[in-house]
Amino acid sequence: MNKAGKAGAPLRALGAMSGTSLDGVDAAVVETDGRRILGFGETGYRTYSDEERAVLRAGLGHWAGPEAEAAGHVVDAAHAELLAGFDGVDLVGFHGQTLAHEPRGRGTFQVGDGAALAQALGLPVVWDFRSDDVAMGGEGAPLAPFFHFACAKWIGAVEPVCFLNLGGVGNLTYVDPTFETPEAEGALLAFDTGPANAPVNDLMLARRGLEMDEGGALAARGIVEEGALELFLAEPYFTRMPPKSLDRNDFAEMIGLVGELGDADAAATLTAMCAAGVAQGMEHCPRPPARLLVTGGGRLNPVLMEMLRVSLDCPVEPVEAVGLDGDMLEAQAFAYLAVRVAYGMATSCPGTTGVRALVGGGIVSRPGD
């Protein structure tokens, strides 16, 4: 299906994202015509309780069944609660929660009922963004690159720039802003770099009952185990050409690689693995970028950011350096993509997900349907 489409009238879209870090729901308003970012609006956040997070963790890796159903109930309730607090919105972009992602196998699976959310909010809801891409031979991820292209235009970039999202999984978008549209061949290259925060979070939960290594404090006290790092980088994933994507648990064995290490050394080694995956990924960029802009929770970890700066040849900065919000960029992305879906525009292309042709994913559910 050709989804080139045309930009339409500006809309105020509300995007929501529940990521693989399982911390909570981000929500953000973007005003856009489907091509340009015309303005950023209000934002909100709703954390998951310990009980809710446990239900979501139990659902990871499930494609159906009671665990997935229970996770879906948590996702639906949390989103309805948070999104009901926004006014003056034209439509909603609802990503849901990814429980399983196997693009070369069973596909991709997000829980979250967009039709029920449309009824609850009284607004059109765009959801199920990834299935069409997978059906057309794509990886179904990452989906933020078209928004990253718009962000590069918004900040006035004139040279190639990379956006690195460090959530549970790391993903990189190379943007060449000299092109007019994201669909143009060469404008975008995107792929998952490897695990990011998920292994460290899992380690902290298993060993210390904590959700994360706050500020990289534990990793800062540790020493990287070079042997474990070399085994990690020997994984075939890193030699695969992009586009390529990962499930949150694809590198679960990383915990085993640091199993004999003390807590601090294990945290330092897992953090170094994240940085090393990014460094490997940067070698795929068509040209060296002028800068690497980091979004997601990983940008708040000074140990990880310093590892990136040491291993890369370009400036590494949080996206706040260019006036963007690193806590909300993914939620904003799904607001932007929702408008593109509403206007019949592409949301992914061969350079971002490996899909065979331009494709616009997403179901639009309206109140009363």
Q: What is the pLDDT of residues 49-66, one digit of tens each?
A: 999 999 999 999 999 999
CA 305 to chain centre: 18
90 plus 203 within the same structural domain? no
Residue 322 near residue 163 (C-beta atoms within 8 A): no
Is 223 inside a domain boundary? yes
Is 335 inside a domain boundary? yes
Residue 135 near residue 1 (C-beta atoms within 8 A): no
84 plus 217 within the same structural domain? no
Q: Is 365 annotated as a binding residue?
A: no
Enter the tokens of residue 234: 């020997």
CATH code at 190? 3.30.420.40
246 plus 195 within the same structural domain? yes
189 plus 94 within the same structural domain? no
Express each pLDDT in 1-30 by its tens digit.
334 456 689 999 999 999 888 899 999 999
Calculate the alpha carbon distances from 144 to 39, 61, 70, 140, 147 in Å: 17, 23, 27, 11, 5
Cis peptide before 142 (omega within 30 of 0): yes
| Under-50 pLDDT residues of the chain | 1-4
| Per-residue model confidence (pLDDT) at position 369 | 83
| Per-residue model confidence (pLDDT) at position 4 | 46
134 plus 184 within the same structural domain? no
Per DSSP, the three-state class of 108 is strand
Q: Is 21 annotated as a binding residue?
A: yes
Identify the bridge partners of residue 192 per DSSP, sorted by sequence position: 171
Amino acid at 258: V
| Per-residue model confidence (pLDDT) at position 363 | 96
Per DSSP, the three-state class of 276 is helix
User: What is the rounded distance in angstroms from the CA atom of residue 140 to the CA atom of residue 215?
Assistant: 31
Enter the tokens of residue 35: 């091509």
User: What is the rounded distance in angstroms from the CA atom of residue 290 to the CA atom of residue 287?
Assistant: 9
Calculate the alpha carbon distances from 332 to 183, 241, 325 in Å: 19, 28, 9
Q: How many CA atoms lie within 13 A of 59 on its CB side?
A: 28
| Per-residue model confidence (pLDDT) at position 19 | 87
Is 247 inside a domain boundary? yes
Q: Is 326 annotated as a binding residue?
A: no
Residues of the domain holding 72 = 11-142+328-365
- DSSP percent split of the chain into helix, strand, coil, nearest 5: 40, 20, 40
289 plus 342 within the same structural domain? no
256 plus 125 within the same structural domain? no
Instruction: Give the Cβ contact number of residue 288 at 10 Å.
Output: 12
337 plus 318 within the same structural domain? no
Closest by alpha carbon to 290, among 177, 170, 144?
Answer: 177
User: What is the rounded distance in angstroms from the CA atom of residue 61 to the CA atom of residue 196?
Assistant: 18
Q: Is the dihedral of CA 131, 136, 141, 142 positive or negative?
A: negative
Q: Is 41 annotated as a binding residue?
A: no
Is 104 inside a domain boundary? yes
DSSP string, 133-177: HHHTT------THHHHHHHHHHTT--S-EEEEEESSEEEEEEE-T
Is 147 inside a domain boundary? no
Q: Is 229 annotated as a binding residue?
A: no
| Per-residue model confidence (pLDDT) at position 6 | 64
229 plus 335 within the same structural domain? no
Structural domain total, the chain: 2
Q: Is 24 annotated as a binding residue?
A: yes
Q: Is 325 annotated as a binding residue?
A: no
- Longest alpha-carbon distance in the chain: 58
Q: Is 50 annotated as a binding residue?
A: no
Residue 174 near residue 278 (C-beta atoms within 8 A): no
Amino acid at 19: G
